[in-house]
Amino acid sequence: MDPNLVTLVKLSLIFVKALVARGLSDGADAPVTHTLRIHCNQSLLLLEMERCGERFTADMKQILPDDRCNLTHFIREYHVFSFCTEANAERIGCFWPNPQVERFIIGLHQRFFSNCTLDPLVFLDPPEHTLTLLILIPVFLTLAMVALVVWSSKRSDVLA
Ligand SMILES: *[C@@H]1O[C@H](CO)[C@@H](O)[C@H](O)[C@H]1NC(C)=O
Ligand SMILES: *[C@@H]1O[C@H](CO)[C@@H](O)[C@H](O)[C@H]1NC(C)=O
Ligand SMILES: *[C@@H]1O[C@H](CO)[C@@H](O)[C@H](O)[C@H]1NC(C)=O
């Protein structure tokens, strides 16, 4: 199997795992995670995300402009970035992923990869396809999370 694909699957599994954990914590019996969420310092979180982003920006500068849309060339840097956001969010007691982290990651995708998807050849080229998926996963998960939060608040309305 393509090692890029393996990394991508791993990446999306991390997101899904966090998503499920979050879904469960929105249920009845998770006072601990609710406490964590209250203690999450959003401005500190944003500072940490910006530091991860700065490192990613510096890493991407090392990659030749022609290779910046090529997953093979930046997957390692992307993985470091992804790990950085996760480790730091957890260290300061915030959920990962969470809406602020996602907004930051989506902004970063737009900054670095917006030109990559504009090429109509994207849809003919399997490696670029993977890139499109990579960009769409956080977008999709954000939507899924919004739906989940709405759904679970509706459900508790019904149960209440
Ligand atoms: C959150 O973090 C910022 C930046 O480190 C700090 O200035 C602020 O006092 C913190 N707020 C709380 C409530 O801990
Ligand atoms: C991406 O980079 C790899 C390694 O340099 C190369 O083999 C591959 O052809 C490149 N893919 C594209 C679409 O340029
Ligand atoms: C995207 O393309 C525009 C126009 O060619 C250019 O100004 C911009 O710097 C490019 N962005 C990236 C991230 O390469």
- For 2, 59, 128, 134, the CA distances from 113, given in Å and listed in that order, are 21, 14, 11, 10
Q: Is 44 in the pocket of ligand 1 (CB under 6 A)?
A: yes
- For the structural domain made of 33-159, what CATH number should be given? 1.10.150.510
Give the integer Cα–Cα distance in Å for 58 and 55: 5
Ligand nearest to the CA of 70: 2
Q: For a pocket test of ligand 1, which of 36, 37, 42, 44 has the largest count of ligand atoms closer than 8 A to its C-beta? A: 44
The closest residue, in CA terms, to atom 7 on ligand 2 is 72
Q: Is 2 in the pocket of ligand 2 (CB under 6 A)?
A: no
List of the chain residues with pLDDT < 50: 1-7, 27-36, 118-125, 159-160
Ligand nearest to the CA of 38: 1
Give the integer Cα–Cα distance in Å for 156 and 50: 36
Q: Is 113 in the pocket of ligand 3 (CB under 6 A)?
A: no
What does the pLDDT read at residue 21?
Answer: 55
What does the pLDDT read at residue 71?
Answer: 78
Q: Which long-range contacts (CB under 8 A, 24 or more apart) does 60-67 make?
A: 60/112
Report which residue type is found at 122.
V
What does the pLDDT read at residue 32?
Answer: 47
What does the pLDDT read at residue 46?
Answer: 93
Reduce the DSSP state of residue 30 to 3 states and report it.
coil
Q: What token pair was written down for 54?
A: 């700065």
- Model-wide pTM > 0.95: no
What does the pLDDT read at residue 117?
Answer: 57
Give the integer Cα–Cα distance in Å for 115 and 105: 16
What does the pLDDT read at residue 142?
Answer: 63
What does the pLDDT read at residue 34?
Answer: 47
